[in-house]
Structure 1
Amino acid sequence: MSLMDKVKNLLGQHGDKVEEAIEKAGDMADRKTGGKYSGQIDTAQEQARRFVERSGGEGEPEDRGSPGGADPMGGGRPS
């Protein structure tokens, strides 16, 4: 079993906890930098969430506040 297979397996089992950790880490980084890099931190959190979703994490993909509801990766919001 490759490393990526192991990661996908773990994300499938613990995706909710990974999502929680992503949120907490981003919030902590935002506090430590005094909000100076909020946009970049939010982008990193979103990219991490998308990786989890693509790799077998639990839950459905969500639009988490991208401008205008558009998906920055080229997709749109479901109708």
Structure 2
Amino acid sequence: MSFLDKAKEFAAKHDKQVDQVLEKVGDEVDKRTGHKYTTHIDKGVDEAQKRTGEGDTRA
């Protein structure tokens, strides 16, 4: 099993935690860029969350 396969398996098993980390990373990037790219960052986080596990687990 390759590293990528292991990473995909981990993300699928821990979707909620992965979504939470992606959200925190997006918030930090947004803060460090002075909130200039909030819309783009949010779209990127949402897309990344959709691609992990069974999809976005946020409410």
Structure 1 stretches of 4+ moved >4 Å: none
User: Distance in 2 between the 1:17 and 1:61 partners?
Assistant: 11
User: Distance in 2 between the 1:17 and 1:47 partners?
Assistant: 16
User: Distance in 2 between the 1:61 and 1:35 partners?
Assistant: 23
How many Å apart are 1:61 and its aligned residue?
A: 4.6
TM-score w.r.t. the length of structure 1 is 0.60
Q: Which of structures 1 and 2 has the larger relative contact order (alpha carbons within 8 angstroms, sep 6+)?
A: 2
Residues 22-41 of structure 1: pairs in structure 2 closer than 5 A: 22-41=22-41
The equivalent of 1:49 in structure 2 is: 49
Percent of matched pairs sharing the same residue:
36
User: Distance in 2 between the 1:40 and 1:28 partners?
Assistant: 14
Instruction: Look at both structures and tell me which one has the larger radius of gyration over its CA atoms.
Output: 1
| Per-residue deviation, residues 1-34 of structure 1 (Å, max 9, x unmatched) | 2333212211122111110000001111111112
What is the aligned-residue RMSD (CA, Å)? Answer: 2.1
